[in-house]
Structures are given as structure tokens and as C-alpha cells.
Structure 1
Amino acid sequence: MTGKTARQCSSWALHSLLAINLVMMAGCSGKNSTVRYSASSIGSSCYAKALPTSGEGGLAWGDTLDMARQKSMNNCIRYAGRSGGTPDTCQVVLAECRN
């Protein structure tokens, strides 16, 4: 008798957990998606990208165009050196500010 009761209880608990899970998932799926802001879009409005002739380049954000260019050059030199590229050939290939 106790084996049958324990089985019924565990079955009831399993079904309850499953029902709760489904209700929670259904509640979340009906919500509209919210806008997600990256850290770069909240603060700085200018960005620049510097690339070497070989190796990895660098992308950076800054408050001014000059700051973004300098940061991207520093990143390019660092990443190109780490990736076996040519850090002394880094050049800014893209730089602009958003409105």
C-alpha cells in the first residue's frame, strides 16, 4: 500500500513541476522583446577600426574621433603582435561618429 502511495505522490509532484515550468515558459514567451544596449552604445558615440597588413586588428570606441582612432591603433598594435602579425603596419581604415 505504501509503495502505491509513494508512486502516486512522486507522479503528482512530477506533473506539478512540469505544469509550473510550462506556465512560466508561456508567460515569458508572450512578452515583447526589449531593446538591449551594449556598453559601447550607452557611452561613446565615435568608433574606429585599425588593421595591420597581417594579423588581427582593433576596433575601439571613444568620446571623440581622435580618441577612438588612438585606442583602435593601440588595440591593433597589441592584437597584431599577439597573433603573429605585423604591428608596425597598423592603419586606421574606418572612423566615424554616430549622431
Structure 2
Amino acid sequence: MTGKTACQCSSWLLPALLAISLALTTGCSGKSKAARYSTSNIGSNCYAKALPTAGEGGLAWGNTLSMARKKSMDNCMRYAGRSGGTPNTCQVVLSECRH
């Protein structure tokens, strides 16, 4: 008798767990995706690229040339440090504004 009860339990347990997990997954998929990055730079006219002597550099956009240069230097120092490069040797190699 106990063998029959265990068999009946297991026959509905797996589909029930599957239905619950599917319902939870479906509920989460309807949420709108939040932007991962700030969209404040959309429409910025100026950009700058800074490179270190070793490692990865940084490209950045800004509303003014000085803002773009500062952001690219900050990015260059961050990325060069992460990639095993030399952050203290970052220099802006390109900067201009679109018209």
C-alpha cells in the first residue's frame, strides 16, 4: 500500500514543480528591461580617445570637448589598470566635435 502511495505522489510532483517554475519564469519575463548604461550622452557632439603606452584605452562622448577629454582620460586610467597596462601614461590622442 505504501508503494502505491509513493508512486501516486511522484506522478504529480514533477509536473507540479515544472508548472510552478514555468509560472515564475513567465512572470519575470514580462518586466521591461532597464537600461544598463546611462543614456544622458545620447546626442553628444564631442568625443575623445585616450590611450596608455600599454593596456586598453578609453573612448568617451561629451557635450563639450573638455568633458569628452576628461571622461576618456578617466576611462583610459580605469581600463588600463584592469588590463594590466600603465594607467599613469594615458594621453588623449584624438578629440573633436561633430558639427
Q: For residues 46 and 40 of structure 1, do their structure 2 counterparts lie closer, same or farther at Cα, with a shift above 3 Å needed?
A: farther
Whichever structure has more helix as a proportion of its residues is 1
**Residue 45 in structure 1 maps to residue 45 in structure 2:** yes
Normalised by the length of structure 2, the TM-score is 0.58
Cα distance change on mapping 1:41 and 1:70 into 2, 3 Å: closer
Identity across the alignment (%): 80
Provide the rounded CA distance (Å) in 1 between the counterparts of 2:56 and 2:42.
26
Whole-Å Cα distance in 1 between the matches of residues 93 and 48 of structure 2?
A: 8
Q: Which sections of structure 2, spanning at least 5 residues, go unmatched?
A: 1-38
Matches for 1:1-99 after TM superposition, within 5 Å: 42-99=42-99
Question: What's the RMSD between the two structures over aligned residues?
Answer: 1.6
Q: Secondary structure at the match of 2:73?
A: helix
CA contact (8 A) 1:40 1:61 kept: no
Residue 43 of structure 1 and its aligned partner are, at CA, apart by: 1.5
**Structure 1: which 5+ residue stretches go unaligned?**
1-38
